[in-house]
Chain A
Amino acid sequence: MRIISKRFLKTNSGKMASLLLVCCFLASSASVSAQDGAAIFKQKCSACHKIGEGKFVGPDLMGVTTKRSEEWLFKWVNSSSSLIASGDKDAVAIYNEYNKMAMPDQPLPDTELKSIFAFIASKSPGAVSASADTVKKSLPAPDASLTATAEQIEVGKNLFTGSNAFINGGASCISCHNVNYNGVIPGGLLAKDLTSVHSRMGGDAGLMAILNAPPFPAMTQAYNGKPITEQEIAALAAFLYKVDKDTANQIVSAMDPLLYGGVTGAFGLFVLIYLLWIVRKKNTVKKDIYERQVKSI
């Protein structure tokens, strides 16, 4: 009898455990809401958007859920560029207001988007209260860069050009970006020109946010697992501020070193190839025979 009951207990406890697991699972899957939204917002949106603290790289999102329909927001977030292209009036207006810079596509699942919207709504006190007037025009740039030392700018420049590698092994900026700055060779054209990025993207704060968690898909991939450190960001910001400030003073060199270097190099290569293969079979071995036959006809 004792043995039987023990066995009964054993099986019963097993069942209990599995029931508990199922409960936990249900509970976790049910709570896709505001607190998830907060995390996703921080990761995906906060680089460019603030809630109630004013305009940043992109617009302040306070009350956006009441201002726009949910359907419109879905479309915008998934692909703002196609919404703009479709001629949507509101979309075009925002696009023009923000220097014709479209928001990078963020193809998130609907459930995650909904949780972000829930989070934004929870942070927006009262409906439609967030009018343009209550929002501060722009964040005053804290701009440590204004007082950056020449050494810091040099560090930033070296990081940008790849003379010094990023500590975590991320790709140097110049692989994809270009800046118009004396002493920096023309960079890649794969992504935006960064000459005026400091003013365009909201000063130090904006750059810091973007470099901390890059919101652009290609950049996200490139720096995935290879984050840029605080000091590196500060140095880069200082350098980019300097670049932005000095734009007007730059002499745009007519001698593109890459282009002319490339042409000269190619020419040199052709000469080398010619010399390397100077002894070679240039004609068919039957050329003499053909020529003599044609002549004899």
Chain B
Amino acid sequence: MDIRSQVCMVFHLDKCIGCHTCSIACKNIWTDRKGAEYMWWNNVETKPGTGYPTKWENQDIYKGGWEKNGDTVSLKGAGKFKGLKNIFHNPHMPVLDDYYEPWTYKYEDLFTAPEGDDQPTARPISLVTGEHMDVQAGPNWDDDMGGSPDYARQDVNLVKLSAAEQESMFQLERMTFHYLPRICNHCLNPACVASCPSGALYKRGEDGIVLINQERCRAWRMCVTACPYKKSYYNWNTGKSEKCVLCYPRLESGQAPACFHSCVGRIRYLGVMLYDADKIEPAASVSEDQLVDAQMDIYLDPFDPEVIRQARLNGIADSTITSAQNSPVYKFVKIWKLALPLHPEFRTLPNLFYVPALLPTMATVSNGVYDSTSQSLWNGVESNRLPMKYLASLFSAGNTGKIVDVMKRLMAVRLHRRGVTVGDLNSAEISTAMNEVHMDADTANAIFRLTALATFDERFVIPPAHREESIEMLEATGDVKGNTGFGFKETPARGL
């Protein structure tokens, strides 16, 4: 066993209202710079939809992530031969138009335009060229399924659905959507790190945050292509690639990352999980239907004395182990089995888990009457508005059993709480639902509490950073003992 600690995340999609506050918080802190205008380290997508950058999930286009190669995995679009072949011109790399060309407006014209018959207008100006441009797309042009024929119907996850199933999703009375907020997954098996020819990317030893060393980055942009989630971005101004840093300066001072902190729906949870690094390669190499289970096996029980002993041997601080025991992510992912990784088939073992949305049931139109009532308050999960196959394509590499399981658990909690707070349901119905997923009332109440009433400290269990210890992983601190303590900072040659 090689036990390490990893900062993991859960996004509860049932609570996401798609307000983009997280995206704005991130933009204001990190990407409000020249060259970074088009980047959204945090973005919120509407599903079904094509996302940002457009069609990012389609690895036939972008060649991101890993593919199974016998007993192990190999990078889909990088590595020694493929990387060298495309190192000077990578045809799979997203271009600016695949994201969108960032723009502002020439507001000054509104004030300085001479008097005339028409209202003055502020024309859009490209933030890249500084010239007038015709706005063609934005980072969430398909927000709330806008322009569906172009976007929602092009969703890559629809491929596995039959034509009839696809068609039924777009009938007015059955139509539905939900939001999918995305940040860097800080994967256990990061393709970006594996692909970098300069060795500029690394996974921090103490908490597993994946970072790009701005001094070593040589702008090969292999990470941009290799990341299947397209969460590494190239800054054309500095000539370096950048990505979500999980607000590590905030984490180190005990604060939640900005997008977590600002979340209006309080959908985000953050906590440490202990995992066994020896299991990464086997877990990434199993067949697709076992990927979720194999990944769940990597994360260890922080209450197990043997795990605690091994973790201490590996230099994990007691405070981190305590954080792992209190981690809300551990509860959602391992104990309650409610959260699933996004696109596990990319085989990067992402550390951001999603509780799928328990969407409203379907309505029918009969004799021109729109009827959304059903026999009971909620129909069974199989008649969910979004087909299980669609959700399985998102969260379980096509394994619908996993999704149905999660949905039934969520439904059991909901029925139980309806019974507690309103009491209008048949108790037999509630106990059937609870028994089916082997859930007791205490667990259901605990899930309800962490879902709906959790305080700040329950949602974000941030381990103390122990910077004084983690720095010793990188350098011998004795070397600088007796120095002034200020050091010096080199700016990159091309400026920041």
**Does A293 lie within 8 Å of B61, measured CB to CB?**
no
Checking A281, A290, A292 against B91 with a beta-carbon cut-off of 8 angstroms, the contacting residue is A281
Bound together, the chains give a CA A293 to CA B151 distance in angstroms of: 12
The answer to the question of B334 belonging to the interface, with a C-beta cut-off of 8 Å to chain A, is no
List, in ascending order, chain A residues with CB within 8 A of B55's CB: 285
Given contacts A285-B55, A286-B136, A289-B137, contact A277 B98 (CB under 8 A): no
List, in ascending order, chain B residues with CB within 8 A of A280's CB: 91-92
Bound together, the chains give a CA A286 to CA B91 distance in angstroms of: 15
Checking B61, B94, B150 against A289 with a beta-carbon cut-off of 8 angstroms, the contacting residue is B150
**Does B92 lie within 8 Å of A286, measured CB to CB?**
no
Interface residue tally for chain B (C-beta within 8 Å): 17
Contact bitstring A260-297, B, C-beta under 8 A = 1, else 0: 00000000000000001100111011101110110000
Q: Which of B139-156 contact A (CB under 8 A)?
A: 147, 149-151
Determine how close the nearest CB of chain B comes to the CB of A295; give it in whole angstroms. 12
The answer to the question of B33 belonging to the interface, with a C-beta cut-off of 8 Å to chain A, is no
The answer to the question of B54 belonging to the interface, with a C-beta cut-off of 8 Å to chain A, is yes
List, in ascending order, chain A residues with CB within 8 A of B94's CB: 285
The answer to the question of B97 belonging to the interface, with a C-beta cut-off of 8 Å to chain A, is yes
Query: Whose C-beta in chain B lies nearest to the C-beta of A286?
Result: B54
Contact bitstring B30-46, A, C-beta under 8 A = 1, else 0: 00000000000000000
Determine how close the nearest CB of chain B comes to the CB of A269; give it in whole angstroms. 14
List, in ascending order, chain B residues with CB within 8 A of A281's CB: 61, 91-92
Checking A282, A286, A293 against B97 with a beta-carbon cut-off of 8 angstroms, the contacting residue is A286
Query: Whose C-beta in chain B lies nearest to the C-beta of A276?
Result: B85
The answer to the question of B95 belonging to the interface, with a C-beta cut-off of 8 Å to chain A, is yes
List, in ascending order, chain A residues with CB within 8 A of B149's CB: 292
**Does B91 lie within 8 Å of A284, measured CB to CB?**
no
Query: Whose C-beta in chain B lies nearest to the C-beta of A288?
Result: B150
Contact bitstring B73-102, A, C-beta under 8 A = 1, else 0: 000000000000100000110110110000
Given contacts A285-B61, A286-B54, contact A293 B85 (CB under 8 A): no
List, in ascending order, chain A residues with CB within 8 A of B54's CB: 285-286, 289
List, in ascending order, chain A residues with CB within 8 A of B85's CB: 276
**Does A277 lie within 8 Å of B91, measured CB to CB?**
yes
Contact bitstring B96-115, A, C-beta under 8 A = 1, else 0: 01100000000000000000
Given contacts A277-B91, A280-B92, contact A285 B98 (CB under 8 A): yes
List, in ascending order, chain B residues with CB within 8 A of A285's CB: 53-55, 61, 94, 98
List, in ascending order, chain B residues with CB within 8 A of A289's CB: 54, 137, 147, 150-151
List, in ascending order, chain A residues with CB within 8 A of B91's CB: 277, 280-282
Determine how close the nearest CB of chain B comes to the CB of A274; give it in whole angstroms. 12
Bound together, the chains give a CA A277 to CA B91 distance in angstroms of: 8
**Does B150 lie within 8 Å of A293, measured CB to CB?**
yes
Most chain B CB atoms below 10 A, which of A276, A280, A282, A284: A284
Query: Whose C-beta in chain A lies nearest to the C-beta of B89?
Result: A277
Determine how close the nearest CB of chain B comes to the CB of A280; give it in whole angstroms. 3
Determine how close the nearest CB of chain B comes to the CB of A127; give it in whole angstroms. 64
Bound together, the chains give a CA A286 to CA B151 distance in angstroms of: 10
Bound together, the chains give a CA A54 to CA B137 distance in angstroms of: 85
Report A's interface with B, CB cutoff 8 A.
Answer: 276-277, 280-282, 284-286, 288-290, 292-293
- Top 6 nearest A-B pairs (CB, nearest first) are A280-B91, A284-B97, A289-B150, A285-B54, A285-B55, A285-B98
20 contacts between A and B (CB under 8 A): A277-B91, A280-B91, A281-B61, A281-B91, A282-B91, A284-B95, A284-B97, A285-B55, A285-B61, A285-B94, A286-B54, A286-B98, A286-B137, A288-B150, A289-B54, A290-B136, A290-B137, A293-B136, A293-B147, A293-B150
Not counting A284-B97, A284-B98, A286-B137, a sample of 18 additional A-B residue pairs whose C-beta atoms are within 8 angstroms of each other reads A280-B91, A280-B92, A281-B91, A281-B92, A282-B91, A284-B95, A285-B53, A285-B55, A285-B61, A285-B94, A286-B97, A288-B150, A289-B137, A289-B150, A292-B149, A293-B136, A293-B147, A293-B150
Report B's interface with A, CB cutoff 8 A.
Answer: 53-55, 61, 85, 91-92, 94-95, 97-98, 136-137, 147, 149-151
